[in-house]
């Protein structure tokens, strides 16, 4: 049979260039199909659960670390009660200020400002608000900030790592497209508006990068803290400055991978510039704190806690009341003999009066001491 006839009988296969391209993801990290569940009419949001879990872990671990330094068991919880709400407010305000178009732009909606469960908490505003509230409480109680700051530093990184999982559930703040096997799958509904990415495109999982970076940073801070104590006997507030440097060093390159809309300055995202500035602040703070005498003392010099001062004042009041009860109402250290003669039935010799005077004087001197 001629070759031409055989060729005509065989089915025609389309060439690769003529075949339609449809990328079917066979690898990559899948995104959760839902970020909210309902218990009856009550919504349970994954983002909020991640934030609360991070806070719980940080408070629990901070309490253990602070008590190991000689701190009072109840203090970390007291600080958390004021610092966490202040931190959430500060984080939300920072996000609103650095992303104004979402709220004040032509298509903005002011009603979205309090909707924190939709995402949008700026870490720097959260740190600023929480630190301010915590410092005010510590100063009110006469306690030093450095020991608690060093106790909290690694726990903040763990809390931030857990909180980043909320971005995964919300399918937000991911990076640029990638062909790496650990790329993140994103639903079409969560792609940037107006994007033309082909189906099956994978993106850098920036939430995972930051979570792993923070966990490694927490381990590093714990190790550095132990080395500091072994060498100089104290951390002296230096772990807080190192925390700022470690976190921002990772945040710079991770932030530059993201493709979500953000304010830019000189071609760089605002959060990149913020991270650079905070890194320099941490480096300067570490340098200055290392040149000072190092101490992990809990109480501020010359001051005890408010509870201790109240207890001391109560003890003084009890001693004064006891002294007044022992002495006659009108008696004074200089007039014991006159007091004795003023009471009917108090008859004694001169030596007895002198003895009473000496005893009364000794009692008065003891109380004064």
What is the per-residue pLDDT for 293? 85
Distant-in-sequence, close-in-space partners of 163: CB < 8 Å, separation ≥ 6: 50, 51, 54, 121
What is the per-residue pLDDT for 117? 67
d(CA 182, CA 44): 28
Element (H, E) at 129: helix 123-140
Q: What share of the chain is helix, strand, coil (3-state, %, to 5)?
A: 60, 5, 35
Q: Kindly list the domain boundaries of the chain, sorted by start residue.
A: 36-187+196-290, 315-368
Region at 36 (left for phi over 0; alpha for psi -120 to 50; beta for the rest): beta
pTM of the model: 0.72
Q: How many CB atoms lie within 10 A of CB 90?
A: 24
In the block, tokens 């870490």 appear at 123
Digits of tens for pLDDT over the chain (369 positions)?
444 443 444 444 444 333 343 444 457 899 998 889 999 899 999 999 999 999 999 999 999 999 999 998 889 999 999 999 998 899 888 888 877 777 777 777 777 777 776 667 788 888 899 999 999 999 999 999 999 999 999 999 999 999 999 999 999 889 999 999 999 999 888 888 778 888 889 999 999 999 999 999 999 999 999 999 989 888 989 999 999 999 999 999 999 999 888 888 898 998 899 999 999 999 999 999 988 888 888 888 765 544 554 544 555 554 555 555 554 544 444 444 444 444 444 444 444 444 444 444 444 344 344
Tokens in use for 180?
A: 């790496």
What is the per-residue pLDDT for 243? 96
């Amino acid at each position: 049979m001629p070759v031409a006839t055989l060729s005509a009988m065989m089915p025609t296969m389309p060439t690769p260039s003529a075949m339609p391209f449809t990328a079917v993801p066979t690898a990559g990290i899948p995104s959760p199909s839902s970020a909210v569940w309902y218990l009856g009419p009550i919504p349970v949001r994954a983002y909020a659960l991640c934030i609360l879990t991070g806070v719980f872990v940080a408070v629990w671990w901070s309490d253990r670390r602070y008590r190991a330094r000689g701190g009072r068991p109840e203090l970390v919880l007291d600080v958390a009660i004021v610092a966490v709400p202040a931190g959430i407010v500060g984080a939300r305000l920072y996000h609103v200020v650095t992303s104004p178009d979402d709220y004040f732009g032509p298509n903005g909606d002011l009603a979205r400002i309090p909707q924190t469960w939709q995402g949008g908490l700026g870490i720097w505003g959260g740190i600023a608000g929480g630190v301010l509230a915590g410092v005010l409480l510590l100063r009110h109680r006469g306690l030093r900030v450095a020991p608690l700051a060093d106790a909290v530093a690694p726990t903040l990184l763990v809390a931030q790592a857990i909180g980043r999982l909320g971005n995964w559930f919300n399918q937000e703040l991911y990076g640029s497209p990638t062909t790496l096997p650990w790329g993140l799958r994103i639903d079409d509904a969560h792609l940037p508006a107006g994007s033309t990415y082909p189906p099956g495109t994978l993106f850098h999982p920036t939430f995972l990068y930051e979570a792993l970076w923070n966990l490694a940073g927490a381990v590093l801070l714990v190790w550095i803290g132990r080395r500091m104590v072994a060498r100089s006997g104290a951390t002296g507030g230096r772990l807080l400055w190192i925390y700022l440097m470690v976190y921002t060093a990772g945040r710079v390159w991770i932030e530059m991978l993201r493709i979500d809309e953000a304010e830019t300055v000189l071609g760089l995202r605002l959060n990149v510039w913020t991270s650079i500035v905070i890194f320099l602040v941490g480096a300067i703070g570490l340098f200055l704190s290392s040149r000072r005498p190092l101490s992990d003392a809990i109480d501020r010099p010359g001051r005890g806690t408010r509870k201790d001062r109240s207890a001391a004042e109560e003890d003084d009041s009890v001693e004064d009341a006891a002294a007044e009860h022992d002495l006659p109402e009108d008696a004074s250290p200089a007039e014991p003999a006159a007091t004795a003669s003023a009471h009917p039935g108090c008859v004694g010799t001169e030596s007895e009066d002198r003895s009473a005077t000496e005893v009364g004087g000794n009692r008065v001197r003891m109380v004064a001491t």
